[in-house]
Amino acid sequence: MKSSKIISKLPYQEPFLYVKSIDEVSEDSIKGSYTFKASSWFYKGHFKNNPITPGVILTECAAQIGLASFGFYLLSQQRDIDLEQVKLAMTSTNVEFLKPVLPGDKVVVEAEKIYFRFNKLKVSVKMFDVSGNLVLRGELAGVILP
C-alpha cells in the first residue's frame, strides 16, 4: 500500500489531520512527518504571547502516524479489507515530552511495532525535530477493527 493511499484512508481531515507524509513503512515500523502550521487554531491560547504545541496535539500526531497509519498498513497486508469501514480507538498512552514544538516546526515520527494481535497494535514511538532532537517518546496502543 502506497503512503498516499494510507493518508487518504485516515478518518481525519483538516484541521485535525496531523500526517503530511509517510516516508517509510514495513511490517515492523513506520516513519512519517508533519509540519505544525503557525496559523493552527490551538496556538491562539496556548500560551499567551509564547505559543507552543500542546502535548495532547503532539500525542495525536504521534498516534495518527504511529498507530492509525501503521495499523491501516498492517491490516492491508493481512487481508483484503475495505479500509473505509475500519474503526480506530486509542486505548492507552504513556508518553514523555522532552522539548517544545513551536509554530511552524516540522516533526518526524518513528514507531516500532511491539505487537499486533487480535486487532490491537502497540508501538514504541519517538518524535524528533528537524535537527534530530528527541521531542517525545513513549508507547501507544490502540484497537483497529475491520
The DSSP H or E segment spanning 60 is: helix 55-63
Q: Which of 9, 20, 46, 120 is catalytic?
A: 46
Amino acid at residue number 25: V
Q: Which residues pair with 112 in a beta bridge?
A: 29, 124
46 has catalytic annotation: yes
Active site (catalytic) residues: 46
